Amino acid sequence: MVNHDRISEIIEQKRERFTQVSDSIWEFAETRFEEFRSAELLCQTLEQEGFVVEKGLAGIETAFVGTYGSGGPVVAILGEYDALSGLSQERGNAAHTPIQAGGNGHGCGHNLLGTGSLAAAVAIRHYMEENQIQGTVRYYGCPAEEGGSGKAYMAREGLFDDVDFAICWHPQNFNALMSISSLANYQVYFKFKGKAAHAAAAPHLGRSALDAVELMNIGVNYLREHVIPEARMHYAITNTGGFSPNVVQAEADVLYLIRAPHTQQVEEIYQRVCKIAQGAAMMTETQVEIIFDKACSNLIPNQTLERVMYENFRQLGVPQFDEAEKDFARQIRTTIPIMDKNSELQMLAKLKGPGASELLKQLKELELSEFLLPHMQTPRLMSGSTDVGDVSWITPTVQCSTTCFAMGTQLHSWQAVAQGGMSIGHKGMLHAGKVMAATAIDVLLRPEVVAKAKAELQERLEGQSYVCPIPAEIKPAARR
One domain, residues 171 and 22: yes
* Helix 447-461 / helix 423-444 crossing angle, nearest 10 deg: 100
Give Cα 46 distance to the centre of its chain.
22
Residue 247 DSSP one-character state: B
One domain, residues 176 and 193: no
Single-letter code of the amino acid located at 382: M
Q: Of the residues 296, 324, 352, which one is the last residue of a structural domain? A: 296
> If we measure between CA atoms, which residue out of 419, 421, 437 comes closest to residue 173?
419
Q: Of the residues 238, 261, 296, which one is the last residue of a structural domain? A: 296
Q: What is the pLDDT at residue 349?
A: 76
Res. 356 pLDDT band, cuts 50 70 90 = low
Rounded CA-CA distance 124/441 in Å is: 7
Could you count the other beta carbons within 10 Å of the beta carbon of residue 367? Answer: 19
Single-letter code of the amino acid located at 289: E
Question: What is the pLDDT averaged over residues 211-217?
Answer: 98
Q: Which of 130-134, 197-201, 335-339, 416-420 has the lowest mean pLDDT?
A: 335-339
Q: Is residue 468 in a domain?
A: no
Q: What is the pLDDT at residue 382?
A: 86
One domain, residues 30 and 65: yes
Q: Is 342 helix (H, G, I), strand (E, B) or coil?
A: helix
**133-191 per-position pLDDT tens digit:** 999 999 999 999 999 999 999 999 999 999 999 999 999 999 999 999 999 999 999 99
Say if residue 387's pLDDT is above 90. Answer: yes
Helix residue ranges, H only, 255-410: 263-284, 303-316, 323-333, 338-352, 357-365, 388-394
Rounded CA-CA distance 412/406 in Å is: 14
One domain, residues 201 and 338: no
One domain, residues 208 and 309: no
C-alpha torsion 442→444→448→450, nearest 10:
100
Query: Does 428 or 376 have the greater pLDDT score?
Result: 428
Q: What is the pLDDT at residue 355?
A: 66
Q: Residue 395 in contact with residue 434, Cβ under 8 Å?
A: no
One domain, residues 249 and 115: no
Helix residue ranges, H only, 198-322: 209-223, 263-284, 303-316
Rounded CA-CA distance 8/14 in Å is: 10
Q: Is residue 389 in a domain?
A: yes
One domain, residues 292 and 308: no
One domain, residues 219 and 331: no
**40-98 per-position pLDDT tens digit:** 999 999 999 999 999 999 999 999 999 999 999 999 999 999 999 999 999 999 999 99
Range 2-8, long-range pairs (CB < 8 A, 24+ positions)? 2/312, 2/438, 2/441, 2/442, 2/445, 3/127, 4/312, 4/315, 4/316, 4/434, 4/438, 6/127, 6/130, 7/123, 7/127, 7/434, 7/437, 7/438, 7/441, 8/316, 8/434
Could you count the other beta carbons within 10 Å of the beta carbon of residue 357? Answer: 11
Question: What is the pLDDT averaged over residues 447-451?
Answer: 97
Q: 438 is in which domain, residue-wise?
A: 4-181+298-461
Q: What is the pLDDT at residue 342?
A: 82
Say if residue 29's pLDDT is above 90. Answer: yes
For a pLDDT cut of 90, what percent of the chain falls above it? Answer: 90
Q: Which of 20-34, 224-238, 350-364, 373-387 has the lowest mean pLDDT?
A: 350-364
CATH of the domain at 240: 3.30.70.360
One domain, residues 176 and 189: no
Q: Which of 11-20, 134-143, 312-321, 340-349 has the lowest mean pLDDT?
A: 340-349
One domain, residues 219 and 324: no
Q: How far apart, in Å, do the first and last CA atoms of the chain sit? A: 50
Q: What is the pLDDT at residue 341?
A: 82
Q: Is residue 343 in a domain?
A: yes
Q: Of the residues 272, 296, 320, which one is the last residue of a structural domain? A: 296
Total of domains in the chain:
2
Q: Residue 99 in contact with residue 49, Cβ under 8 Å?
A: no
Buried b (16+ CB within 10 A) or exposed e, 156-167: beebbeebbbbb
Q: Is residue 342 in a domain?
A: yes
Q: What is the pLDDT at residue 354?
A: 67
CATH of the domain at 141: 3.40.630.10
One domain, residues 305 and 337: yes
Rounded CA-CA distance 435/427 in Å is: 13
Q: Is residue 125 in a domain?
A: yes
Query: Does 394 or 377 have the greater pLDDT score?
Result: 394
Q: Is residue 479 in a domain?
A: no
Rounded CA-CA distance 393/465 in Å is: 8
pTM: 0.95
Q: What is the pLDDT at residue 115?
A: 98
Q: Is residue 473 in a domain?
A: no
Res. 376 pLDDT band, cuts 50 70 90 = confident
**283-313 per-position pLDDT tens digit:** 999 999 999 999 999 999 999 999 999 999 9
Q: Pairing relation of β-strands 165-172 and 380-381?
A: unpaired
Q: How many CA atoms lie within 13 A of 240 on its CB side?
A: 6
One domain, residues 63 and 157: yes
Q: Is residue 88 in a domain?
A: yes
